[in-house]
Homo-oligomer: A and B are copies of this chain.
């Protein structure tokens, strides 16, 4: 026997329909949309279901409801629908390959910038992160697949762009949630190799050599990619 497809929930249906109305420009930024009671008549569902859909749209900052004055489409609705699509893409297209490729686009440039901008305090902090990593790897009591994470993130912080920093954090944490990354770091030897590459990048940052830092970062990420490919073959 085949399973029936799960029945659509009403609030999700309403949500999608309203979203489509706004996307299609039938309800435009600034417009006041029908009242909850009117919507419940239009869609032939209860006011509760309407409200659940509206509360979601409100949280997405696409609409705004106020007692007395009704519900309006926000001026920023277009941008926030874009955000929604960005999140959808991020969820659907996140594979090991695509995420590593994304890092490959961003991180070499961040290394370049870090080599230009790093001050003494930044250098100290990076140095400390490397020392902690060494200890973590030698202290084999626990397994540490996230051992290199803080080095990459600190480097992004030095590059001094909060948007890219947060974006890279999402990308990298998503990557860590995939099993494949852990395959890449299942023995001490591999972890130490990775650490050596971090040391090399750090050296170029410390000596203010942006071009070399960038190349070293590119090669570092490429190796991780190739290393995994080896395993799979």
A residues bordering B, Cβ < 8 Å?
11, 15, 48, 51-52, 55-56, 59, 61, 76, 78-80, 82-83, 85-87, 89-91, 93-94, 98-99, 101-102, 105-106, 108-110, 113, 159, 161-164, 166-167, 169-171, 173-174, 177
Shortest CB distance A231–B (Å): 23
Known A48-B48, A52-B52, A89-B162; contact A167-B169, beta-carbon cutoff 8 A: no
Q: List 16 A-B contacts (CB under 8 A).
A: A48-B51, A52-B52, A52-B55, A55-B56, A82-B173, A83-B87, A83-B90, A85-B170, A86-B169, A93-B162, A93-B163, A94-B163, A98-B162, A102-B161, A105-B109, A105-B159
A15 to B169, CA, bound (A): 24
- Which residues of B are found within 8 Å of A98, using beta-carbon distances? 161-163
A50 to B158, CA, bound (A): 42
Shortest CB distance A128–B (Å): 25
A76 to B91, CA, bound (A): 10
- Which residues of B are found within 8 Å of A56, using beta-carbon distances? 55-56, 59
Looking at chain A's contact residues, is the secondary structure mostly helix, strand, loop, or mixed?
helix
User: Do residues A99 and B163 form an inter-chain contact, with CB atoms below 8 A?
Assistant: yes
- Which residues of B are found within 8 Å of A174, using beta-carbon distances? 79, 82
Shortest CB distance A108–B (Å): 8
Shortest CB distance A178–B (Å): 10
Shortest CB distance A160–B (Å): 9
- Which residues of B are found within 8 Å of A108, using beta-carbon distances? 109
Given contacts A76-B177, A90-B166, 10 further A-B contacts (CB under 8 A): A48-B48, A51-B52, A52-B55, A79-B177, A82-B174, A86-B167, A87-B87, A89-B162, A90-B163, A106-B164
A6 (CB) vs chain B CBs: closest residue: B66
User: Do residues A89 and B163 form an inter-chain contact, with CB atoms below 8 A?
Assistant: yes
- Which residues of B are found within 8 Å of A61, using beta-carbon distances? 91
User: Do residues A11 and B82 form an inter-chain contact, with CB atoms below 8 A?
Assistant: no
User: Do residues A83 and B162 form an inter-chain contact, with CB atoms below 8 A?
Assistant: no
A78 to B172, CA, bound (A): 13
A109 (CB) vs chain B CBs: closest residue: B105
A173 to B11, CA, bound (A): 29
A112 (CB) vs chain B CBs: closest residue: B105
